[in-house]
Amino acid sequence: MVASPQTIEQPVSASQLNWRTCWYPIAFAVDIPPDQPYGFSIFAEPFVLFRDHQGQWVCVVDRCPHRLAKLSDGRVTDGRLECLYHGWQFGDGGTCVHIPHLLAGATMPERAHAQSFPVQEHQGIIWVWADGHVPPTPATPPTIPGLETDGVFQVDTATDLPFDHTFLVENLLDPAHVYISHDGTELNIRRDDAAPLEMEVLATSVEGIQGRFRRADRPQAPWGNIKFHAPVLVHYDFSNPAYGVVGGLGLYALPLAPGHSRLLVRRYGTFFKRSFTLKPRWLEHLRQNKILEEDLSFIVAQEQFLQQSQQPVQAAYFPLKTCDTFVMEHRRWLDRFGANLPWYVGFATVKPPPMDHGALGLSTRFERHTQSCTACGGAYKQLGMMRQAAWVGAATSVALALVSDGQVQVVFAVSFLLAMGTVAMAQALASRFL
């Protein structure tokens, strides 16, 4: 007989993670349009980013204080975020600086100002502190040591995913699945190398989890270090100071809404430098999205079963110590420190989402990644223009071939074939962004 899960609710305390007093990674700075509002959510609460007249990031609640219109549907003009419903404008710190219908000389009402939140660009990522009343502590977001070291490359990819934040973190804390799920897709990864792992949890606290792992059949091999900075960052550190090697993987998990999370992947290091730096950013993004899609259906199925059954992990999973140690430690961490998260599935406890999130519209790679990525969105548009130009070239070649003869006609026939080949190539590559 399966025991019923405990559903817990308790006030914020020092022994529990206060999800509001945390830094959240929103997006890579290069992927946020500099002259448009950028809407997002944290645990289903709406926010919007924009740059003020000094070029500084400002984050406010994505609701106009006037009649609750979404400010992210507005526009940015001269460093002011303008609501397109009644034209209210907001500047530095969310201060309301203009109301078209306010009488001349009238004092700006205090309630007209939008609540603002601390923003920081740190290591190329835009971070938001989710409490507008408590100053950030710590003052800076989680840092990846050695990232700014000379000679260290980095490749960044961001993708939205149709499953919950805690299921994403579970997947990120699972090095054992990589050899099976990502055989041939990840660099130097083959399913034949899958083996029992020696996994040790070194420390657990409200700040997160620290551990290390290596193959059980290779006790002389160096440890791989893993750290979960609650609630958003999983960091794999493969650096070897003795040999001057720096490198690892930063995996940033943003809880957007029930059944909706965002993953920011950062590969960095001094190894594999040539294979990463000599190809365009969009080409690495295609590979990274393929990796994420290899796990996607498994994670969606896990989440659906646990949500429908309302079972905790303890009742539903059959974990192995040589495979799932960090995954189980994370679910136990949620039992111990996550009671004040808006929702989660723990090892022995469950806190259901407050609402039915319904369909998310994240069924395609275009929706999950391409439309919000500057590199891939740009490449997709360029392929479209290339395809159109090739069609024009093909039509022109046919027309000129019809009015030509002899050797010239052969040249135009070859031009037609080359143009059609370009059309086919551009169409095939464009489909990979969709």
**pLDDT tens-digit profile of 67-123?**
999 999 999 999 999 999 999 999 999 999 999 998 888 888 889 899 999 999 999
Report the alpha-carbon distance of residue 40 to residue 28 in Å, rounded.
13
Domain 23-129 identical in fold to domain 153-364: no
Extents of the domains making up the chain = 23-129, 153-364, 377-431
pTM of the model: 0.87
The strand pairing partners of 209, in sequence order, are 204, 228
Q: pLDDT digits over 192-203, tens only?
A: 888 999 999 999
Which class for 92: exposed (0-12), middle (13-18), buried (19 or more C-beta within 10 A)?
middle
Could you tell me which residues come within 8 angstroms of residue 18 by beta carbon, excluding any fewer than 6 positions away?
A: 12, 340
Contact between 64 and 88 (Cβ < 8 Å): yes
pLDDT at res. 367: 82
pLDDT of residue 1: 33
> CA 68, CA 258: separation in Å to the nearest integer?
22
CATH 2.102.10.10 fits 23-129, yes or no: yes
3-state secondary structure of 349: strand
Amino acid letter, 12: V
Under-50 pLDDT residues of the chain: 1-13, 359
Determine the topology of domain 153-364 in CATH: Naphthalene 1,2-dioxygenase Alpha Subunit; Chain A, domain 1 (3.90.380)
Q: Tokens at residue 94, please?
A: 């969310």
Sign of the Cα torsion 362, 364, 367, 372 reads positive
Give the 3-state secondary structure of residue 93: helix
pLDDT of residue 88: 93
Helix (H) or strand (E) holding 286: helix 281-309
**Measuring CA to CA, how many Å separate 375 from each of 28, 155, 283, 290, 406?**
12, 12, 9, 16, 45
